[in-house]
Structure 1
Amino acid sequence: MASTVRVQAPIGQRALFITTLVVPLTGWTVHAVSLHRKLSAARKDPLTGLLGRDGFTAKARQITNRYGDAALVVLVDLDHFKQINDGPGGHAAGDRVLVATATRLTAWAGSRGAVGRLGGDEFAVAVRIGPARRELRLAQLTQMLAQPVQVEDGVLVDVAASVGAASPDTLGATDLGLLQRAADAAMYAGKHTGRAVLAGPQHATVPSINGRRAGRPGTDSLGQAA
């Protein structure tokens, strides 16, 4: 009986010791996972080098709050991107198109603009462009995005993008969530037309989820855009 007691005591002590370690470690693991998710959302996109969703949101808010009516929020979707991924070049060709698009958007936005990849073939830009220059600058953007992309030696693929934009002076608010929703609705309204659409008040009333038009693929699984 005594031997049994001596065997149980160390086991109990070990169990207690392990428990005291596991409890804080479990708490730390939960914290680490949460922190990793936050860092993953905020860090730069590994493929394009653009801001992630949270990083873009933070910088875009700074731009809209600072420049007010002179700010412009732009959403971009690549047209027929799935066909590029499913084509002869496969996902490698798709990646080159994404990188080229990121480079073009960065050049267009300039060093003071914010450019982010929201996921897949979806991009967002926040930039200072006054009302007098918007139409011209947006036309320049669609032309830039429509240039063929070299996906391998001697092989070019045709690309095109749908572009929607929204500005505080048109919508009467600098709220980034509202601007993104309106820009998204405007982009959808101009889908496959080859021209950028500047959102009007009617685009701000389109039902949305997470800052994007309701019914759009993936809206229910994304974090808050603003």
Structure 2
Amino acid sequence: MVVGSDGRYFSRTATEIVVQMAAANGIGRLIIGQNGILSTPAVSCIIRKIKAAGGIILTASHCPGGPGGEFGVKFNVANGVEIVDPVDIYLNLLRNIFDFNAIKSLLTGPSQLKIRVDAMHGVMGPYVRKVLCDELGAPANSAINCVPLEDFGGQHPDPNLTYATTLLEAMKGGEYGFGAAFDADGVSERVSSLLTLLSRDGRNIRNQRLEILCVGHWAQSS
């Protein structure tokens, strides 16, 4: 069974409880994200890859965190506890789906597309840093709020025009050609694997697939 969280308040305690309950009920092997962190899409990826029985994600999605915030549990349908890197397995999946060389050229080439991605202090911070900055060569300032915090920095981790104001203001400045924000567990508030996207002028084009936007950009550039 796979266990992960978006890092919100009480996640560490809840993870320990899950481990104890699993052991008490005869579950022989747990796969747990390093520091308890795993995004919801990454949990699904690992379940399929290792053919696990299922997965538990400790998250309340885009709802507030902290001692007075919200907490929830999602369930997605060898021996011992294994700690895994929360990014590597999912990164390998992305490499098999997307042309990383083409995207890197888009982000670093002569006609560089400047991007701004806000992880909103949720689980996606390590993924954004590793994928966009380390793997694809985007400048460090392309990724903001990438340290997962138990209270999400006191902000509401819902990537809409009300709460993603830092990203919105950056996009209105005209420096960036593409902007995106994630909610706490790495999915938008509606559908898995979708992002809140903002055009250059800050206009909301919510819940459009990232790959469609990229294809459109490449088509215009070719």
TM-score interval (norm. to shorter): under 0.3
Q: Counting helix residues as a fraction of each chain, which structure ranks higher? A: 1
Which of the two has higher C-alpha Rg?
A: 1
TM-score w.r.t. structure 2 length? 0.27
